[in-house]
Amino acid sequence: MLQLFRVAGIPVRIDPSWVIVFGLISWSLAAGYFPRVLPDVSVGAAWLHGVVAALLLFVSVFLHELSHALVALEHGVPVSGIRLHVFGGVSEMEAEPPTPRAELMIAVIGPLTSFVIAGLCYGLGRALDGPPWVAALTGYLAVVNFIVGIFNLVPGFPLDGGRVLRALLWWGSGRQQWATLWASRAGIAFALFMIALGGIRAVAGEVIGGLWFAFIGMFLYQAARASRALVDIRARLEPLRVADVMAPAEPAVAEAPPPANAVAAEASAWQAFLKLGRAEAGRLAVVDGGRVVGVVSRRDLQDALLERPDADVARRAA
């Protein structure tokens, strides 16, 4: 993964899949959109407009994700990076929002940013008395950003609308895990709808558009299932302390100074799970009173998950 730059200390990275979708969008604009709205455009100019439009589209996606990241930081949620990928982008937050209000604010700012960009592009297109390609470019960006904003407001996790739904359910019930479970179920339902719609469009002759809908649906389905699985994992691990699942430290390790990337013995095993998700080594030192007292690994957490009965999880999430 290629890191481009940092904004407010947040690294911005591009997934290799981004190159594929960038090429496809540039091609579709150069071969379809610009020749249709600009009948006299040359092949070279159409490709230039297509590449510029695709770049500006990804700038819009970046600004959408940056708004999420900045509001998350304001509410005390650490952000490890912004990643642009084949389906758009994601702000990689290292922890859950602390309150339903924080979740709501973090979620709604993304679609609002897309709507603002759409409005600015529409206004520029109407205000500028430039060549026809300017109106074509701003018109495209206005429409696409408006669609991005609307699509993200669909109330299915992990879309922004699903996070809004989770925030409202959490606010009303006081149970974050229960809210996540139902928002994830809504996300799975919407993903299946997208897959079915994509199949119908493909059978009707819109093969490329239908396949794209189906691919997005499959991506959302996997993401929603993963979110639902995290509810299960959190319910199993949160009641446990790291000290309950760690392996004791070897004498040589115990005498060494604690490493920077460590977890407290009294912290929940769920916190260790989150830290291990970002750790390259696959294990963390466990500290207590400034001393290394043990080591916790992914295997330790897997064993702890196997020992937690499903009935307990069901009662916590229901």
Give catalytic residue positions: 65
Q: Residues near 159 by Cβ (< 8 Å), separated by ≥ 6?
A: 151, 152, 153, 187, 190, 220
- Sign of torsion, CA 65 167 233 79? positive
Question: 190 and 237 in contact (C-beta within 8 Å)?
Answer: no
3-state SS assignment for residue 250? coil
CB-count burial class (<10 Å; 0-12, 13-18, 19+) for 269: buried
Q: How many of the other CB atoms lie within 10 Å of CB of 39? A: 8
Query: Can you count the helices (H) and strands (E) in the chain?
Result: 13, 8
Q: Residues near 246 by Cβ (< 8 Å), separated by ≥ 6?
A: 265, 286, 293, 294, 295, 296, 300
Instruction: State how far the Cα of 259 lies from the Cα of 286, in Å rounded to an integer.
Output: 9
Question: 100 and 170 in contact (C-beta within 8 Å)?
Answer: yes
β-partners of residue 79 are 93
β-partners of residue 89 are 84
Between helix 160-173 and helix 176-203 the angle, nearest 10°, is 150
Instruction: State how far the Cα of 61 lies from the Cα of 118, in Å rounded to an integer.
Output: 12
Of residues 267, 275, 314, the one with CA closest to residue 297: 275
Tokens of 18: 């981004």
